[in-house]
Amino acid sequence: MKAPARLQALMDEGLIDSVSRQLMSGKEASVYVVRCGDETRCAKVYKAATERSFRQAVDYTENRRVKNSRQARAMAKGTRFGREASEAAWQSAEVDALYRLAAAGVRVPRPYNFFEGVLLMELVADAEGDAAPRLNDCEFSAEDARAHHASLLSEVLRMLGAGVVHGDLSEFNILLAADGPVIIDLPQAVDAAGNNHAQRMLLRDVENLRNFFGRFAPELLKTDYGHEIWDLYQRGLLREDSALSGRFERPQAAVDLGGVLREIDDARAEEAARRLRMQQAS
């Protein structure tokens, strides 16, 4: 196919040789299958963001640092230059997270290059060598559901060990490769220690995994791995090979009504976003 203008720049630089086809298109980016020498890779072309598919992007960008003070001031004021700087920072956050997590051994696509708003990375493939499907397009036996759930919990532990919370982990941004699940879409990843919303996001990520795989293995719906993982993390006891029980005794304390209402609002927003993704996927 003819290379889109954004990818032509990479061809001019010799980073890719040709564009095979478009793999997907979403609100945040379009993804293309490209050829680089003898290898097939994918190129994620970020779109200018006028809105996000998940609410309150400020929650995700909390505590992200910008080295240039002029950029920081412009971003705070919301000027045109500031909006452009914010978009660049949003894109680079995914690149930084991919490199950080790949180095920690987390199952994410291997990043190769980031140039002019295009992320060049590994194409996650199935057993036939085709682009791997998302989990929401797959059906599982109870045994496979339990195995994939356990595998992804291990990835959550590795991510948290690297100081990262995905922030939007669900069946819509996990691919089923030939050798197991691979986590994708990380522009909203947050620093576990530096973001006040990290706990809530981690709990939601783990809950999403529980609810999805619980469709195929209902016993998973009774587990509470999220609170168990965060408790170990807070106490400095979390390890990559930490033995998890899926049970957690919550301490008895006064009810935080404001916190409960925020959780209800977040749950409603998450369900609305899930329905939108399902409509787009159908």
43 and 20 Cβ atoms separated by less than 8 Å: no
Give the C-alpha separation, 214 to 210, whole Å. 6
- What is the total count of domains within the chain? 1
CATH for 192: 1.10.510
32 and 4 Cβ atoms separated by less than 8 Å: yes
The per-residue pLDDT for 64 is 47
- Taking alpha carbons only, the member of 169, 231, 232, 228 closest to residue 201 is 169
Name the residue with tokens 């045994």.
143
Largest distance between two CA atoms of the chain: 62
pLDDT of 156 above 70 = yes
- Cα-to-chain-centroid distance, residue 199: 15
At what angle are helices 69-77 and 80-103 packed, to 10 degrees?
A: 120
The per-residue pLDDT for 1 is 81
The per-residue pLDDT for 168 is 93
The predicted model gives 196-213 an average pLDDT of 96
Split at pLDDT 50, 70, 90, the class of 182 is very high
pLDDT of 110 above 90 = yes
Return mean pLDDT, the chain.
84
Split at pLDDT 50, 70, 90, the class of 249 is confident
Of the listed ranges 54-58, 84-88, 161-165, the one predicted with least confidence: 54-58
The predicted model gives 98-102 an average pLDDT of 95
pLDDT of 63 above 80 = no
221 and 208 Cβ atoms separated by less than 8 Å: no
DSSP letter string, 207-263: HHHHHHHTTTSGGGGG--HHHHHHHHHHTT---TT----S---PPP----HHHHHHH
Give me the domain span that covers residue 94: 5-281
